[in-house]
Structure 1
C-alpha cells in the first residue's frame, strides 16, 4: 500500500520586514499549511474500508482457488475410478466371454451325449424286443419240451408221468443217476453240478434218513473213494447243501474240511473227498403232479 503524501506551501519572507508583519505572515503560512494538510489527509475510516475491501477480495480469490483445487482433485479421483471400473468391466467381460464359450462347448458335448444315449436307448429297445421274441420262443420250446418229457406220445395219445423219461420217482422227487463207467466221462463236483443245472435240476439234497438210504442204494458200483457226488460241500468248516441249508445230522459224515465235497458210496455211507476228484453224480428235481 502506498503511503499518503501531504503537500504544504511554504513562503519565505524578507527579513527586513517588521516583526508584526512577520508574525502575520507566519500565521498566514501556518494557516495555509494547516488548510492544505487537512484537504489532502484521509480519514482512518476510509483507510479501514479500503483494507476491508482488499481483504474480502483476497478471501474471495482464495475461496475460488480452493474450490477450483477441490473440483480438480475430485475430477482426478473420478477419472481414476472410471478407469479402474473400465478395467474391471473389461476383465469381467473377458471372463464372461470365456465362460460363455465354455458353456457353448459343454452344451455341444451334452447334445452329443444325448444323441449317443438316444441311439443306445433305441438299440437296447430293439435288443429287448428281440430277447422278448426269443424268450417267448424259448418258453414255448421249453413248455413243449416239458410236455414231451413228462407226457410222451403213445398210441396216438399222451400219457403224463411224474418224472421225465430216464428219471426215478421217490417220494415227491425225481432222481437221475449218472453212472459213467469210464473215468473220462466223470466230473468234478462243480462240473457235475453244472450238468445237473443243464437238466433243470441240481445235485441231490437229502432231507431224511429214508432219502439217505435211497440215495445210497442207488449209488451203484461205488467203493472206496469212488462214489457219487451229492449236493453237500464244506464251507467255513461247515457242511452246506446246495440250497444254502446246513447239514442237520452231523453223524452222517466226518468233520468238514474246506475244499472237500461229499460222495455217496454203496454200503459205506458218505465220505469227504477233494472237490476236484472226478466221480459220478446224482441229480434231483421236483416231480410233476399228475
Structure 2
C-alpha cells in the first residue's frame, strides 16, 4: 500500500487508489489481486504511463487481463459513479482514449457487457493444449459462439500450445479448435524445442486452415444441449460454402456419423456432395444425408462440403 503508483511522480501510493467499501476498508483480494478504482486520477495516470510506454515501443496488440476487478462494487473517487459497471465504463473508455485506436485490444477475464471497448474477448479461461483442455474451450464455443461478430468483432480461444496435446492428433485438434472459434489465432510453443518446431511447421503453415481462421467467423454447434460437455460437431455456412468440424475428446478411436440434415447442410432426401478434407486436400463424394467419420484418439477432422450439380 506504500508503493508509489507508476506515472504519478510520487503524488499517489497504491493505498490511495485501491478500491474500498463504503466504510473505507480496502476490499479483499480477488484471484490474489487488489482492485483499484478506475475513476481515480492516480489510476488514470497509471494508464497513461503504461499505455504510452507500449505505444512508444510500437506494440499493436495488447491483452488486458483481470478486467472484472474494474467492475467491482465500492466507494469510487468520482461521486457520480454509483455502480461498478459505471466505473468500468469510465476506465475502459479512458484506455481507449489513450490508445487512440493504435492497438488491437483483447479483453480477458472481463465482464461480458459492456463490450464496445475491446476488439475481442476471451471465450474461455486458460488452455494448456491437452485434449481435455481443448474440449473445455470448445464447451465455451458451444454456448458462447454468439458473441462473435456481434458484441465483439472476434472471440479469443486462448493460445495454441501444441506440444501439450500429447500427440500430433491432439495438437491438430487444438489448431482446429482455435481455427473454428472466430478467432484470435496465437501460438505459444517454445521454438527452441525440436518437437515444438516440428508441430509448428506441420500445423501452422497450412494455407487452407489459416485462411479459414482468417475469416474470423465462429462455427456453431450442431447440438445445443450438451449438458456440461462440449458439442463434438460444429458447422459454418460461409456464403453457401459449408464447413464441418468433428472432434474426438477421448483417448480411444471412435466412429461418428454426422447428420447433414441436422447440421443444416442437406435437405430431406438423397443428395450428392463433394467433401474435402481441409488439411489434406483429399476429396470424396458423399451421397445421402449422413457423413461417416473415423477418428483416432484425440483426433479431429475439418471438412469443406459443396453440393454437386
Larger CA Rg, structure 1 vs 2: 1
